[in-house]
């Protein structure tokens, strides 16, 4: 059982009792006597010592360690906090006369600055998509299509102001401490096995931007492994789904190389996986689930509808798994999402007194490679 740490009051009371019961026969202190004050000082010192011992105990095990001690515990098993990543994409620029946008040209947009990835020549009267990367890493660099972009310094022959035709994606904040702790504790709980399900998940989720991963053993035949990943923050503009093409690592000669996000993860796994495994990185197939919710009564308001939609989206984020993949804890397929899950999610909303979910009306099981997400929501009083 845990040892109860004495409070400062308890320590002071004990010190005063020890002084009063001293063999020197100290008793009946004057109001401003020195000995009670010295007792309080000693109690304060003892309280600080107990606090330091508490801190030592907290840092001495990985599941309660904080700060640099937590990072050290994680480093012992090869887990590091994921760094922030910068967003990137393309921005269209039009030339009135033949001109060139040099490499590292600054472009302003969304309150941030971006640099061009290389020199781009633009013929007169044409529009060219120029690759750019945000100068600051983090989620803030993910800009939606339609965002206004402007050259920081005008270039002769180039229209200075334009707008994104496709979103800038790939930016992710540095991994939060809670997520980092969850990841390294999972690694402690599931020691590396040289390529079991948990290993592939750990390798994938160690890649900056990757938030969820699933494994389908023998998904392409004997000796193959299919790994599905999601980038819920970095690719938020696309619902978190990876942007690229499915395939293997660049150094894997047996299958076609992946593209984009899938290639980044495939390359990271390639240096960790067993040499004989044939690993394919894939994006899950989006399978939206529509909801019809009735019986809301007076709660059928725009505010409550947003709250319900948010709760259901979070439920899918927490409980949805790619169809056909295996749970590394049980080595069996993941369970279906039961009706109780969405009733619990909606029922937890403050102020909602009554509701009934008409659709869906049965547990949800995705097909192979599919990931269930929230589709449309229909509300009725």
pLDDT digits (tens, 9 = 90+) for 60-84: 888 889 888 999 999 888 888 988 9
pLDDT at 14 exceeding the cut of 90: no
H-state helical runs in the chain: 8-20, 34-59, 67-76, 177-189, 197-205, 261-270, 302-319, 339-347
Residue-range domain boundaries for the chain = 8-60, 62-83+173-189, 88-163, 192-283, 286-379
Q: Which of 14-23, 123-132, 277-286, 303-312 has the lowest mean pLDDT?
A: 14-23
Give the pLDDT score at 165. Answer: 92
DSSP state letters, 267-295: HHHHTTS-TT-EEEEEPPEEEEEEEEEE-
Which residues of 54-111 form beta strands (DSSP E)? 88-94, 99-101, 106-109
Measured between alpha carbons, how far is 102 from 115 in angstroms, rounded to an integer? Answer: 10
d(CA 345, CA 128) in angstroms, rounded, equals 47
- Does 18 have pLDDT greater than 90? no
The percent of residues in the chain predicted with pLDDT above 70, rounded, is 96
Distance CA 102, CA 190 (A): 49
Whole-number pLDDT of residue 21: 73
The H helix count followed by the E strand count for the chain is 8, 18
The DSSP bridge partners found for residue 353 are none
Q: Is 352 exposed, middle or buried (0-12, 13-18, 19+ CB in 10 A)?
A: middle
Token pair 């309660």: residue: 64
Average pLDDT over residues 304-333: 93
Q: How confident is the model at residue 24 (pLDDT cuts 50, 70, 90)?
A: low
Is residue 305 within 8 A of residue 376, CB to CB? The reply is no
The percentage of residues in the chain with a pLDDT greater than 90, rounded to a whole number, is: 59
Q: What is the arithmetic mean of pLDDT over 41-58?
A: 86
For the segment 334-351, the average pLDDT, to the nearest whole number, is 93
pLDDT for position 63: 87
In our burial notation (b when 16+ CB lie closer than 10 A, e otherwise), range 210-236 reads bbbbbbbbebeeeebbbbbbbbebbbb
Q: Report the pLDDT averaged over residues 352-377.
A: 94
């Amino acid at each position: 059982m845990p040892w109860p740490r004495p409070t400062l009051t308890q320590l002071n009371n004990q010190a005063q009792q020890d002084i009063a019961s001293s063999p020197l026969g100290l008793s009946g202190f004057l109001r401003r006597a020195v000995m009670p004050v010295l007792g309080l000082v000693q109690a304060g010192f003892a309280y600080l010592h107990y606090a330091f011992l508490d801190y030592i105990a907290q840092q001495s095990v990985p599941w309660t360690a904080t700060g640099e001690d937590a990072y050290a515990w994680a480093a012992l098993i090869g887990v590091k906090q994921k760094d922030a990543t910068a967003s990137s994409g393309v921005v269209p620029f039009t030339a009135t006369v033949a001109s060139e946008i040099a490499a590292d040209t600054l472009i302003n947009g969304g309150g941030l600055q971006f640099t061009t990835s290389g020199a781009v020549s633009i013929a007169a009267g044409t529009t060219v998509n120029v690759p750019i990367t945000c100068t600051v890493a983090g989620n803030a660099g993910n800009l939606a299509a339609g965002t206004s972009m402007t050259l920081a310094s005008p270039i002769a022959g180039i229209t200075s102001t334009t707008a994104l035709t496709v979103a800038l994606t790939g930016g992710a904040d540095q991994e939060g401490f809670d997520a980092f702790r969850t990841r390294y504790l999972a690694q402690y709980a599931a020691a590396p096995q040289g390529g079991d399900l948990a290993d592939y998940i750990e390798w994938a989720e160690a890649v900056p931007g990757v938030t969820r991963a699933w494994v389908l053993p023998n998904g392409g035949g004997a000796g193959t492994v299919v790994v599905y990943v999601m980038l819920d923050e970095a690719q938020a503009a696309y619902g978190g789904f990876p942007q690229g093409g499915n395939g293997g690592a660049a150094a894997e000669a047996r299958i076609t190389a992946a593209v984009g996000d899938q290639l980044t993860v495939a390359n990271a796994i390639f240096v960790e996986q067993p040499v004989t495994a044939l690993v394919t990185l894939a994006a899950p197939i989006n399978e939206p689930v529509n909801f019809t919710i009735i019986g809301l009564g007076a709660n059928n308001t725009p505010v409550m509808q947003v709250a319900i939609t948010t709760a259901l989206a979070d439920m899918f984020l927490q409980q949805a798994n790619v169809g056909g993949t295996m749970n590394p804890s049980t080595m069996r397929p993941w369970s279906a999402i039961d009706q109780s899950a969405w009733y619990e999610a909606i029922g937890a909303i403050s102020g909602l007194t009554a509701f009934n979910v008409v659709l869906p009306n049965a547990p949800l099981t995705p097909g192979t490679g599919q990931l269930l997400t929230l589709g449309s929501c229909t509300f009725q009083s």
